[in-house]
Amino acid sequence: MAAWSKVCSKSEVVVVTGAVRVAGTRRFGENYSRSPTDLLCKEILNEASLLATVAVRQHRVLDLQAEPSTQVLELRVQCLKLIRLGSFRQLQLFQFQQRIQELDGGDVKIGHAVLIEQPQCHSQNYGAKEAGRAVTLSFVISEMGRYASVRRLKKTDSIFVAGHRGLAGGAIFRELQSAGYANLLTRTRAEVDLRQRESVRGFFAEQHPQVVVVAAAKVGGIKANDDFPVEFLLENLNIQNNLIEAAYDFGAEKLLFLGSSCIYPKFAPQPIPESALLTGELEPTNEPYALAKIAGIKLCQAYTREYGRNFINAMPTNLYGPGDNFDLNTSHVLPALLRKVHEAKERGDATVEVWGTGTPRREFLHVEDLASACRFLLENYDAPEIVNVGFGSDVTIRELVELICEIVGFGGELAFDTSKPDGTPRKLLDTTRLTQLGWRPRITLREGIRQTYDWYCQRRT
C-alpha cells in the first residue's frame, strides 16, 4: 500500500470506474465522485488483478486509437511497471477497444485495455477458469519515469511568454491576459538576450516562472531563410535550448514549445498528420529553420521521457495578423503580398509582381486563433506528442493574391515571376488531433486579411 501512496502523491491522472475484482465478485462502484487522489489510496489499486474501466486524459485515449502499435507498447510497459502485477507480470496488451465515453464534463475519457493472461505466469488462481483467457485489467498513467502528470493552470501562475514582441508571442500574451492570467512575465532583448545562456539562466534564477511559452524565434520567408541559413539555424537552436534547459533546471511545471509546419517533409501526405515528422526530405528553402524546430521538439520530448516534465509541442501553420512583419526582404508570403499590392495601388501601377507560379497551396491561420489554441493546449493538454494547429483548408497563392487585390482595391494585373522558387507544392495540416480535443478556429481568411490590412494602414499613417 505504501507504493500506491507514493504514486498518489505524484499523480492526479487516473479515475477508475466500474472496477470488479477477478478474484471475486465484489464491485467497487460504478461512478466515483471522489478525486483521483482519493481513489489511488483505495483498495482498488492494492489488488494485483482487476477487471476495470479506466479513465485517462483524453489525449492519451485519442492517441492510442490513432498512433501505431509502438505507442500502445510504451503504454503497456508503463502500466505493468506501475501496477506491479505480481503473478500476472507477464501480461501483454492484446487490444485497445475503440470506444470513448465522456466523463466528468469531458475533462477525461474512459478507455478499455484488454490484456492476455499468460498460462506460465500463474502461481495462484485469481478466478480465471482456464489458462490463457483474456482478462481486462485496470492501469494507471503517472509521471513516474516517462509521462508528466496532469497539471491545471491557475490564474495566479507566473507565466513567462518568451518572444512577447513577436507576432505569435504578442498574440499569446494578449490572449492569456484577456483570459484573466494576472502574473505574466515578459522581457525585452535588452533585458534578457535569449541567445545567451547565462542571461536566460539569470532571469530564471530570479523569477522561477511556473509556466513557459517558447514563442521566441528568428523567423522569415523564403528569401531570408535562403540568405541567412547559419543565423536561422544557430540563433534558433540557442534560443530554444537555453529556454528549455532553464525551464527544467529552475523547476518550471509546464512548457509550451511553438514549432512550425515547415518541420514536415516537402512531399508529405496531404493533409499532413503529426506522424509525418522525419519521414522524408525537408523543403530546402527553409531547411535550417526546420531543423532547429525539430531539435526543439525532440528536446522537449526527451525531457518528458527522461525526467517526466510536462513539456508540450504545438505546430502552427502559416500565421498572419496584426503585428506581422511587412519587410519585403524578411517577411512571409501573406504580409509581403499585402504590402506589394497596397503600394502598387498607391503608385497607380498596372501590374504587381508575384514570386513563383502561383500554383502552390498554402494554409493560413490568424494569429489570434493560434493564441486561442495555445491557451487551450496549456489548459487541457499534457502529452509529449506534437499537435498541429491550423485552419483546416488551404488556397493557392494565386487565389490568395486575388483575394488581397479585392480587399485592397487594386484592379491591375498579376505578373508571376516563374524564375523565383515556389517552395513546397502544398502544405495543409491535418488538425484532427486538436479538433477532437475540442478546439476550432473562428476567423476566416477574408475577415483576417481585412483586419490585418486595416492595422497595416493605420500603422503607416
3-state secondary structure of 313: strand
Three-state SS letters, 148-167: CCCCCCCCCCCEEEECCCCH
Spans in the chain with pLDDT lower than 70:
1-151
Task: Select from 59, 274, 220, 250 the least CA-distant residue to 147.
Answer: 59
Q: Residue 257 CB: number of other CB atoms within 10 A? A: 24
- The cell numbers describing 285, all together, are 528553402
pLDDT given for residue 414 in this prediction: 97
pLDDT of residue 223: 81
CB 134 within 8 A of CB 116: yes
- Residues of the chain by 3-state class (helix, strand, coil), percent to 5: 40, 20, 40
Cell of residue 387, nine digits: 499537435
Which one of 32, 126, 248, 289 is the catalytic residue? 289
Is 289 among the residues known to form the active site? yes
Cite the beta strand spans of 301-433 per DSSP E: 311-316, 318-320, 351-355, 361-362, 364-366, 387-389, 395-396, 413-417, 426-427
**Residues 6 or more apart from 227 whose CB is under 8 A from it?**
none
Grid cell locating 197:
545562456
Catalogue all structural domains in the chain, each as residue range(s) with its CATH number: 2-136 (no CATH), 159-460 (3.40.50.720)
Residue-level pLDDT at 358: 96
At 258 the three-state DSSP class reads strand
**Residue 27 DSSP symbol:** B
pLDDT at residue 382, as a whole number:
87
pTM for the whole thing? 0.69
Identify the pLDDT of residue 151.
Answer: 61
- Give pLDDT, residue 13: 27
Grid cell 498518489 in the structure block, residue: 8
- CA angle 360/366/230 to nearest 5° reads 65
Strands (E), 67-201: 92-96, 101-103, 108-111, 113-116, 134-136, 159-162, 184-185
Q: Across-strand partners of 159?
A: 184, 211
